[in-house]
Amino acid sequence: MKTLLEKKGFICDMDGVIYHGNRLLPGVHEFVDWLYREKKEFLFLTNGSGKTQKELQQKLARMGLDIDEKHFYTSALATARFVARQMPGARAFVIGEPGLLNALYEQGITYDENNPDYVIVGESSSYTYDKICQAVRCIQKGARLIGTNTDLTVSSETGEVPACRALVAPIELATGKAAYYVGKPNPLMMRTGLNLLGVRSQDAAMIGDRMDTDMVAGIETGLDTVLVLSGVSTRETVEQFPYRPRLILSGVGDIAAAGKG
């Protein structure tokens, strides 16, 4: 634990690490207080693309946690940044929520459902058969397919529900085209996170609750890896994978408790 406490930067997943649904997880207040007290650089990084940084800030504020917008980074922001660098001023047909649409708009990407350069898919409560058909038509005309993240499911108050990759799959199957996924575990998103923190990979840690995204992202980017058992993973889950996190903790509160020692 001493090595972890000495890290300069922390990249933290949100759902299952900081909160579950609309409930702040135990030890989070103490963990955030420790980050500020020790002057650590930190980023709350989420594969979710539906919410803006402001909306995430407000969500945590409603739970009693006051954190500046600059400490949030989403797969929507990473996707918009990627597309803008690949093709400045691109046109895109988008299936997603305001967080994704706003991020794309801010990067100068315009909405076009007839002849776009890209079809971009994120989580969406308005996902319909008609939109799948429109996406397929756009790709058949030459548009490139991008998914904001590879999550098949995401936790909700009612249990696990389909997430981005599950929504992209019908479009991939109908077109025979594989999507490029920007979010975790793509190192592209992680390197951007490190740049935002201003720290090197060896001086940072990745804290998450998923082996298939968070821990892979940390390992492939050279970060220290910390799996917390406050989300979807258990110690039994770890045994199903050919790689392991360096540390397994019950939750982020364990870090704050160790920091007092």
Active site residues: 13, 15
Q: Which residue has the tokens 């980017």?
A: 221
Cβ-count burial 11-33 (b if 16+ within 10 Å, e if not): bbbbbbbbbbeeebbebbebbbe
Describe the strand order of the beta sheet including 180-181 as a list of residue ranges.
110-111, 91-95, 118-121, 144-147, 180-181
Cis check: omega of the bond before 162, within 30 degrees of 0: no
Structure tokens belonging to residue 62: 């409603």
Give 246's Cβ-side CA count (13 Å radius).
15
Residue 15, strand partner residues: 19
Amino acid at 164: C
Rg (the chain; Cα; Å): 18
